[in-house]
Structure 1
Amino acid sequence: MTTYSDIWDLTTLYAGGTSDSPAFHEHIAQIPTFITQLQQAVEAVEQQPTVETIAEGLAAITEVMVNMRKISVMLSCLTAQDTTDEQAKITYGNMAPLYAQMAKLTYRFDKVIETLDDATFEAYCKAPALADFAFILTEKRTQTKLLLSAEEEDLITSLRANGDQAWSQMYDLLIADMTFCVTVDGKEQSLSFGQVSNLRNHPDAAVRAEVDAVIEQAFADKEQFFAHTLNHLAGFRLTAYKKRGWDDVLAEPLRINRMKRATLDAMWGAISNTRAPFVKFLQHKAQLLGKEKMTWADLEAPIADTTTQIDFQQGADFILQHFRAFGPELEGFARQAFEKSWIEAADRPNKRPGGFCTTSPLDQQSRIFMTYAGTMSNVSTLAHELGHAFHSYALRPVHPLNASYAMNVAETASTFAEMIIADAAVEAAQGDEKIALLEDKVQRSVALFMNIQSRFLFETRFYEERKDGIVSAKRLNELMTEAQQEAYGGALATTHPHFWASKLHFYISGVPFYNFPYTFGYLFSLSIYAKAKQVGPAFEEQYMALLRDTGKMNVEDLVMKHLGEDITQPAFWQKGVDLAVKDVEAFLQLTKTP
């Protein structure tokens, strides 16, 4: 039997695989040449916008994009695996001006597309050299109309390296500098945030309570730093919005996710109208834990007496077994990821918290990052990130410019893969193990319906208040507490007021409102999963066809084409929510008092 490493191999990206790799820095040194070629192509388009010059411009954009993407992948891996890697941080900072140059040139190209008259643009989109890019050209044209002049947008882009992007990096530095001292099994340990977060589902209630208190206090101690960082990151974004005449803070995230406001409202409406079963679940879980009401410390607490540990090898084998039942492409890809050591899962200090998947289209390689501690939840997380990587694998035949999909559909593939594993685990288990795994599955729905909605409510309200000036740390705590109580239907005895400080997603500069796309992906994947179970193994090719379309159409059109449904209507989302409710009902039945 093949043994899989839980440490990734970066040497197949760049010889040496470290932040001082000569091959890595030689590649970085080539980027100015690619940017010069892009500048020449853009100038040719500006001088004479023809089908030929536009096609050449798209080719130059692609060349810069895929090369810079590979560098970005390497930097993401280096800074995640070792938060003390100073060389990686310096290189990351030095790359910012190059990204800014690319953004400026891309904007100039987009501006030419925007200024074409309608008849010429439509004719160009029908030309053989451009027909395959009609969607993204139309998207560029539409979005550029909403922007400022080339000079003003150039200034905003130039300032980002020392604006919102710098504040995002400040958050990473603050987190990297934090240690959390907790006592586990009688031993005091000094842990990173990623390590201490894994203890939130510790079977010992005393450990969970200590972890919750230590995390809350640590962020309370530094709340002024985090409040300052969040306020200025958001302030930079809002200043740009104001200059562009954008008043609705959701306009940009909706455009980024290629979805309508009606779709977002329909989704949240279905969830809000079906909150009662999940509140009942939390109340019941609290009683099983011997509590009158659910606390934040116990949200992830195991309710069954099970100490089953699944080492990395066992987790990999379990994933491969059940991916195989879905289809050979998914299983074959995942096996490749394990065999080629594309996964960093070791539980060690100085790693960044959380998990991610990143892919370089230049050489068709992905890398997956997480901290694996031997729980079934970790296995689900690993499957989730493999789903992201499989999405990129499905897109291999697609031109890179048509493979840039939005976050909401990105979360569909990952959640779909996670669902395969969660269902398989529940079906295979017996007794307390079955109860534990079913609870973990329900907890995922609670997280995506309640936790994510609380983030959405907080961020929406914070941005509205930030328009009028700095929002104090005290007020941020109040906003978060109110959002958590509302989203959890009043089921919580205690909340996590400093969640706004502890959650990385609020500090990502590239994508505002890094929350609702998760819920979209979860519910969308429920619909796809239901269809997959109905059709069987033959569905895999249909699924891959859907994934290949994710980068070149709006989500409403995507769902209509592949599922034949209107997602601007609550009925579509209600079906997914109802499937999650069935898990709640099954859990309540299994754990009811005799």
Structure 2
Amino acid sequence: MNQEWSLDVLYHGYEDPKFDEDMKKFESEVAGMKEKIEAAKKLDPVKGLETCLMVKEEMAALGSRLGEFISLKASVNTSDSKTNDMGARYDRIAANQTAANVAFCKYVASIENLDQVIAQSSLLTEYNYYLTEIKKDAAHMLSDDMEDLIAHMDITGGGAWGKLFDYLTSTLKVDYEGEVITLPAVRNLATSEDKEVRKKAYEAELASYDKIADSIAFALNNIKGQVSMLSEKKGYESPLAMTLEQCRMKKETLDAMFTAMREYLPKFWEYLKAKAKYLGYEGGLPWYEMFAPVGKMDSNYTAETARDTLVENFSHFSKELSDMMARAFAESWIDFYPHEGKVGGAFCANVTTEKQSRILTNFNGSFDSVVTLAHELGHAFHNKQIFENRILNQDYSMPVAETASTFNETHFMLSAYKKSNDPQEKLAILENLLSGTTQIICDIYSRFLFEDAVFHKCEAQFLMTNDLKEIMLDAQKQAYGDGLDQTKLHPYMWTCKGHYYSSGLSYYNFPYAFGGLFAMGLYTQFLNEGDSFVPKYNALLKATATCSVEDTAKMAGIDLTKPDFWRSSLQTFANLIDEYVALIG
């Protein structure tokens, strides 16, 4: 079994004649795209919209094929000059689509009887949600020239600052115990069995950020400044309001979720203090002990044993899902191990035209690494469902993006927990589940507070490294309370989370809390309904690209705008915390 992913289904490298052919075709088609849109606008509305959609489908297929290949190549070797050159070329070409896309959106918005036009065509009916959302969003569009200018300026503006962040963090050299290691490698030591290793790794990690923190502070200020300026120019109340529009999510839903989360924060602090006591600390837990092992699992996974475990486990939930997992391992969808130049963390990316996914992890053989694989394979299963939609109907919003992945985590860990008869193993599994849940409740809340504060503060001042450290520490104190030792937090958490560094995607934090709590609610339904739940679950995942967040949840009978649903999911975790405390004794 290969330990690196294969991209051969796309291209056999940059020297592949097909790559050069497609890049030239992409450039040519983009150059003529606006002319095709303008010509279609002269037809009757039904035929005009159909023609435009066919043009956009063709461009989406070609652009995704090239863009996904370059992006995936970059993620495993951020310093590769060829990839950086190709990425810059692709970005310049892709930015030239803006004028045509703006023209299309304004054309859609100009059709007064859009509902009646859509009803006359099966193609338009499939794109009903897509088209009606475009008409709604058109109110926030600027002039054609301005939108085109913004897209081009972003290449050397916010987009470039984001790439700088990726480069700095992926090439950062960490001095650890006389060796030089990568940032992902030192962060992986947080799960070491050795207490001194965990502490020294934390100290080495914090010390390493001094080399890049000022540069990253410039990146963060400029990205957030750009987003704030554009949200104002486009008529949004705030960057958060713009994000919620992008998420197809109501502010009432976000408020309901945070209301419930704040109510239950003390329960998660109780978990952290119980863990601190177990590890021999008085009061709150030091930051560097958050991922310390608790309990005992006699398992050190290889890629092969991780595969066998996952395929077997998920065969009890869905044969379709377990078969897809087996295929992911067999067909080299996964890039497993950390190395210099490879980005940290983990992600799952679409390979749209081939109806596949690619998964990057920094696998270290731990149970947590297998949980991460389960999580990312959940994204791949979500992709599998939306690939049944037409290509322009395959984009789902941030909050629902974490649904299938977190559902997988929940299923994997709870089924392992119930199966085990060993108290130490049960404790270890429960620790893993609660540790992860604490991340999506406490840590995600701290990240939201941090980003929200940065958006507000950077309007009036440039936030230097010390300013950002202070904002982060304040956010962590609010979110973690007395659950953590407030003298041993992580002031540099803003330097290692790529979610902050996108000019097109802000507040990529609360969707993780949404995903975790929504997934727990869905998992509870699965436990109650059994096999009959699975087709409903698949349909719900498919619909995430063609429904609002709230309408998607209604398919499962859930009202997201009231705190009650969120409280019920949080109570399930609270019950598990009680079990954890009892197991620790």
User: 1:431-468: CA deviations, max 9, x gaps?
Assistant: 32221111010111100000001000000111011112
Q: 2:175 touches 2:208 (CA, 8 Å); kept in 1?
A: no
In structure 1, stretches of 5+ residues that fail to align are: none
Pair 469,49 (structure 1): closer, same or farther in 2 beyond 3 Å:
farther
**What is the 5 A alignment of 1:297-316?**
297-306=288-297, 308-316=299-307
Aligned to 1:358: 349
Q: 1:38 touches 1:57 (CA, 8 Å); kept in 2?
A: no
The more displaced of 440-449 and 361-370 is 361-370
Q: CA deviation at 1:75?
A: 1.6
Counterpart amino acid of residue 259 in structure 1: M
Aligned to 2:556: 563
User: 1:88-145: CA deviations, max 9, x gaps?
Assistant: 111111111122112331111001112222xx22221222241221211111111111
Pair 19,300 (structure 1): closer, same or farther in 2 beyond 3 Å:
farther
Aligned to 1:10: 7
Q: Secondary structure at the match of 2:359?
A: strand
Match of 1:490 among 482, 488, 504: 482
Structure 1 runs of 4+ with >4 Å offset: none
Q: 1:66 touches 1:360 (CA, 8 Å); kept in 2?
A: no
Aligned to 2:436: 444
Aligned to 2:186: 196
Aligned to 2:426: 434
Residue 329 in structure 1 maps to residue 312 in structure 2: no
Q: 2:78 touches 2:170 (CA, 8 Å); kept in 1?
A: yes
Aligned to 2:34: 39
Give the Cα separation in 1 of the matches to 2:35 and 2:264: 56
Q: 1:51 touches 1:124 (CA, 8 Å); kept in 2?
A: yes
Residue 579 in structure 1 maps to residue 572 in structure 2: yes
Counterpart amino acid of residue 255 in structure 2: D
Q: 1:320 touches 1:331 (CA, 8 Å); kept in 2?
A: yes
Aligned to 1:65: 60
Q: Secondary structure at the match of 1:275?
A: helix
Q: 2:34 touches 2:103 (CA, 8 Å); kept in 1?
A: no
Q: 2:220 touches 2:501 (CA, 8 Å); kept in 1?
A: yes
Q: Secondary structure at the match of 1:65?
A: helix
Give the Cα separation in 1 of the matches to 2:119 and 2:245: 24
The more displaced of 120-129 and 171-180 is 120-129
Give the Cα separation in 2 of the matches to 1:409 and 1:169: 26
Residue 317 in structure 1 maps to residue 308 in structure 2: yes
Q: 1:193 touches 1:353 (CA, 8 Å); kept in 2?
A: yes
Match of 2:466 among 459, 467, 474: 474
Aligned to 2:88: 93
Q: CA deviation at 1:327?
A: 1.2
Q: CA deviation at 1:305?
A: 4.6
Counterpart amino acid of residue 201 in structure 2: V
Q: CA deviation at 1:41?
A: 2.5
**What is the percentage of aligned positions where both structures have the same residue?**
29
Give the Cα separation in 2 of the matches to 1:341 and 1:483: 40
The more displaced of 478-487 and 220-229 is 220-229
Give the Cα separation in 2 of the matches to 1:333 and 1:450: 33
**What is the 5 A alignment of 1:224-239?**
224-239=214-229
Q: Secondary structure at the match of 2:280?
A: coil
Q: CA deviation at 1:252?
A: 1.4
Pair 422,225 (structure 1): closer, same or farther in 2 beyond 3 Å:
same
Residue 455 in structure 1 maps to residue 447 in structure 2: yes
Match of 1:526 among 520, 528, 541: 520
User: 1:376-399: CA deviations, max 9, x gaps?
Assistant: 110010011111111111123211
Match of 2:391 among 375, 386, 400: 400
Q: Secondary structure at the match of 1:273?
A: helix
Q: CA deviation at 1:48?
A: 4.5
Give the Cα separation in 1 of the matches to 2:577 and 2:14: 47
Q: 1:45 touches 1:109 (CA, 8 Å); kept in 2?
A: no
Count of aligned positions: 580
Aligned to 2:107: 112
Match of 1:208 among 180, 189, 198: 198
Q: 1:111 touches 1:150 (CA, 8 Å); kept in 2?
A: no
Give the Cα separation in 2 of the matches to 1:306 and 1:334: 24
Counterpart amino acid of residue 557 in structure 1: D
Aligned to 2:583: 590
Query: Normalising by the residue count of structure 2, what TM-score does the alignment of the two structures yield?
Result: 0.96
Over the aligned positions, Cα root-mean-square deviation in angstroms equals: 1.6
Give the Cα separation in 2 of the matches to 1:393 and 1:355: 19
Residue 517 in structure 1 maps to residue 497 in structure 2: no
**What is the 5 A alignment of 1:113-262?**
113-117=108-112, 120-128=113-121, 129-183=123-177, 188-262=178-252
Counterpart amino acid of residue 13 in structure 1: L
In structure 2, stretches of 5+ residues that fail to align are: none
Q: CA deviation at 1:306?
A: 4.6
Q: 1:259 touches 1:554 (CA, 8 Å); kept in 2?
A: yes
Q: Secondary structure at the match of 1:310?
A: coil
Q: CA deviation at 1:575?
A: 1.0
Q: Secondary structure at the match of 1:173?
A: helix
Q: Secondary structure at the match of 2:354?
A: coil
User: 1:325-351: CA deviations, max 9, x gaps?
Assistant: 001111111111111111110243332
